[in-house]
Structure 1
């Protein structure tokens, strides 16, 4: 599981910061892609947060650094970063989280979204995916997207409410 809420070294603060930028640099170099300043700035902004950010939030944060950044430019950078698996879009929030994993394009992800603290955990659920594959095959349905989002309360919030 990948926790975007805790900021522990193994999770949001550790892998999402410098490591996700280093991964982006490596990926762009290996694929002969341009990792522009704006793409880097957008990725660093997202990776530096424990909560998902929308494009307008990102544009505002980048504009606060002394230059005006248009939301349309941020959306272009997000499209690039998403296409290459460096960020994920959380559809229910219309926001983005960074991804420090080396999973492939075929990875079937599940995002666990806490309604209380706003934290998001990224994980996989092979048994759920197997059941979903079966259901899709039986119905003859071919999805264009397979990202599952589950809302509820995270363990930290549940523990805090119990205390």
Structure 2
């Protein structure tokens, strides 16, 4: 079984500014390596998404940009589509929202732990989960192209707050 970190959720010692800076640098390098333009609007949309550390809807991204005096809805959706195609963000279907990818540049299927309390999200990359889905699908004669697993529950912080 793949080793898991103690907790994939960010703790109180998380350096948020460093995290964002590293995500932006990684995104820029991936786009450059693939011959894609990381335009100002793509960069800003990505920055808004990764700043959250929780899923954010396209309308919330649009609101942030409009407060800055920028853009129209189609531009936001095009930027989000581009970021998704580049593997920089994931779409969380159950929330109709987007989250920055914890493993950019690595082909993988999404496995997400979504806290129902504080709405934070952690991305996992457990090969056994993907393997079980592939095996089950193939045993049924189905060839999956991509899959996303969304698991709802409580993060360690919310669990500790709800425990008397």
TM-score scaled by structure 2?
0.86
CA contact (8 A) 1:136 1:142 kept: yes
* 2:106 is equivalent to residue 104 of structure 1: yes
Cα displacement (A) at 1:68: 3.5
CA RMSD of aligned residues (A): 2.0
Deviates more, 1:78-87 or 1:144-153: 144-153
Q: TM-score, normalised by structure 1?
A: 0.87
Aligned partner of 1:9 in structure 2 is 14
Which shifted more, 93-102 or 17-26?
A: 93-102
Segments of structure 2 that go 5 or more residues without pairing to the other structure are none
Q: 28-37 vs 87-96, which deviates more?
A: 28-37
C-alpha distance in 2 between matches for 1:57 and 1:29? 28
Query: 2:83 is matched with which residue?
Result: 81
Q: Does the aligned pair in 1 maintain the 2:134–2:144 contact within 8 Å?
A: no
Per the alignment, residue 19 of structure 1 pairs with: 22
Q: Please report how far the alpha carbon of residue 125 of structure 1 lies from its aligned counterpart in structure 2 after TM superposition.
A: 2.4
> Offset of 1:47 from its aligned partner?
1.2
The structure-2 alpha-carbon separation of the partners of 1:29 and 1:88, relative to structure 1 and needing over 3 Å to count, comes to: same
Whole-angstrom CA distance in 2 between matches of 1:96 and 1:86: 10
CA contact (8 A) 1:43 1:98 kept: yes
Deviation at 1:129, TM superposition (A): 2.2
Residues 7, 50 of structure 1: 8 Å contact kept: no
Pairwise CA distance, 1:100: 4.2
C-alpha deviation, 1:64, in angstroms: 0.5
TM superposition outliers: structure 1 runs of 4+ over 6 Å = none
Q: 1:93 aligns with which of 92, 95, 106?
A: 95
Q: 2:62 aligns with which of 59, 74, 83?
A: 59
